[in-house]
Amino acid sequence: MAKSLDDLLNEGVAGRTVLVRSDLNVPLDGSTVTDDGRVRASLPVIQKLSDAGARVIVTAHLGRPKGEPNPKYSIAPAAAKLAELSDLDVVTATDVTGPDAQAKAAALTDGQVLVVENVRFDARETSKVEEERTELAKELAALTGSNGAFVGDAFGAVHRKHASVYDVAKILPAYLGDLVKTEVDVLTKVISNPERPFIVVMGGSKVSDKLAVIENLIGKADKLLIGGGMVFTFLKAQGYSIGGSLVEDDQVETVKGYLEKAPAEGTEIVLPTDVVYAAEFKADAKNEVRPVEDIEGGELGASGMGLDIGPDSAKSFAEEISAAKTIFWNGPVGVFEMEAFAGGTKAVAEALANGSGMSVIGGGDSAAAVRTLGFSDDQFGHISTGGGASLEFIEGKDLPGVSVIG
């Protein structure tokens, strides 16, 4: 069984330097953090260690800077947000393990927090070559001195074999952070022992991104509610004409297989009965509600595209969610960033917020959607901080950043 943060705190951390892999991968508008959810989620573990007298070094990534320094992806705005949301004494380094990080790590005092620069500024972080990752991991570990420890608390990165997530845990005494432990506990309950009815809402643009998830949920979930761009591959598999809607033709046969297999294994796949069909992918595009059996029969003909589930579908999805005891949601069911096509996603979020069942939002775009649409995190049972990691867990895959500590 993996050692936890509590185990580390019980051993004593006063005066010790603890390296924490956090998830500060926040969206930025210039240098402004537009959604601080991940910073807030990372704060409790850092605060606990600081309060216990540890000298805390935080490493994290932001965006995809392609293995070299890029000011656009500096971790500095996220570090500033960390300081703003707490009373922590936060200092930042201008490099990952270089002279500035080394000097500031050596100068840390008890309770102080050092955030080193975006770890993905170093190409070794994501290298496929183990020796290269190990080299960086050793440099990160060296920042902690002779009696260091490592806390893995970045659920959004635990599905990656990266130096700061995986390799460093093989060098330093390693512990599972509270955020990761909670994520694993919640998702384990959802998959292994859900209170029923267990409903899964799947959205997003591509069915290919969710194939393994759907495969693993057939026979586990009572109902799979499908929305988003991926729904048009399902509708095409049923023989419907879908105009110019997003479709993955190479997945149609696979989806047909799911539609045949699911009922036999006790899972009902629920598709929309109507869609919001638009002239083009624009916020002010002309649009109309069309029944799925006659999408091309309206004014827009075959030239339109579906950008949301329709109002009847939104209502029926909400009713299914309201009756469920456990709900896992991953992926918006429409283009929620555009008001005209946000109705379906808003209906799903409202049903989750108002329902009595255990609701789990699987991170990524779903988490962004509920915040963009004005909902607060505490209206839901659990919002995952890791879209990709939560999906891979639901698929049944190993999460290297967790198993290396276990």
In a domain, 186, yes or no: no
Annotated binding site for (2R)-3-phosphoglycerate: 38, 120, 160
Going by their DSSP bridges, the two strands 32-33 and 28-29 should be labelled as: antiparallel
Structure tokens at 208: 């290919």
Going by their DSSP bridges, the two strands 149-152 and 174-176 should be labelled as: parallel
What is the SS3 assignment for 201? strand
In terms of residue numbers, what domain contains 47? 5-180
pLDDT of amino acid 325: 97
Burial tier of 231 (Cβ tally within 10 Å: 0-12, 13-18, 19+): buried
For residues 134 and 228, membership in a common domain is answered with no
- Residue 147 near residue 155 (C-beta atoms within 8 A): no
In this structure, the chain runs to a length of 406
Structure tokens at 386: 């890791």
Q: Any catalytic annotation for residue 227?
A: no
For residues 308 and 198, membership in a common domain is answered with yes
Annotated binding site for ATP: 210, 306, 337, 363-366
For residues 126 and 212, membership in a common domain is answered with no
Question: Rounded CA gap, 224 and 202, in Å?
Answer: 7
In a domain, 402, yes or no: no
Question: Between vectors from CA 248 to CA 320 and to CA 161, what angle results, nearest 5°?
Answer: 85
For residues 126 and 215, membership in a common domain is answered with no
The C-alpha torsion from 99 through 102 and 107 to 108, rounded to 10°, is 140
Q: What is the mean pLDDT of each run of 10 residues along the chain (406 residues)?
A: 93 97 94 91 97 98 95 97 98 98 98 98 98 98 97 96 98 97 92 94 88 92 96 96 96 96 97 98 97 96 97 98 96 95 96 93 84 89 87 90 92
Structure tokens at 266: 């006790």
57 sits in which H/E element: strand 55-59
Q: Any catalytic annotation for residue 38?
A: yes
For residues 152 and 37, membership in a common domain is answered with yes
For residues 219 and 145, membership in a common domain is answered with no
Q: Any catalytic annotation for residue 21?
A: no
Contacts of 49 (CB under 8 A, 6+ apart): 5, 9, 13, 18, 20, 56, 151
Annotated binding site: 23-25, 38, 61-64, 120, 160, 210, 306, 337, 363-366
For residues 86 and 213, membership in a common domain is answered with no
Annotated binding site for substrate: 23-25, 38, 61-64, 120, 160
For residues 162 and 205, membership in a common domain is answered with no
Of 148, 180, 212, which closes a domain? 180
Give how far Cα 305 sits from Cα of 135, 287, 342, 344, Å: 50, 9, 15, 16
Q: Identify whether 291 is preceded by a cis peptide bond (ω within 30 of 0).
A: no
In a domain, 185, yes or no: no
For the chain, count helices (H), then strands (E).
14, 17
In a domain, 405, yes or no: no
**In the beta sheet, which residues pair with residue 382?**
360
pLDDT of amino acid 367: 86
Of 180, 209, 233, which closes a domain? 180
For residues 199 and 75, membership in a common domain is answered with no
For residues 153 and 101, membership in a common domain is answered with yes
In a domain, 11, yes or no: yes
pLDDT of amino acid 52: 98
Question: Between vectors from CA 305 to CA 300 and to CA 308, what angle results, nearest 5°?
Answer: 115
CATH of the domain at 245: 3.40.50.1260
Of 180, 212, 236, which closes a domain? 180
In a domain, 390, yes or no: yes
State the catalytic residue, choosing from 244, 364, 387, 401: 364
Q: Any catalytic annotation for residue 152?
A: no
For residues 166 and 200, membership in a common domain is answered with no
pLDDT of amino acid 1: 74
Burial tier of 260 (Cβ tally within 10 Å: 0-12, 13-18, 19+): exposed
User: Phi and psi of 176, rounded to 5°?
Assistant: -85, 125
**In the beta sheet, which residues pair with residue 275?**
290, 309
Total tally of structural domains belonging to the chain: 2
In a domain, 102, yes or no: yes
pLDDT tens per residue across span 253-288: 999 999 999 999 999 999 999 999 999 999 999 999
In a domain, 175, yes or no: yes
For residues 125 and 203, membership in a common domain is answered with no
Structure tokens at 343: 């109705």
State the catalytic residue, choosing from 3, 138, 161, 206: 206
State the catalytic residue, choosing from 98, 111, 298, 388: 388
pLDDT of amino acid 205: 87
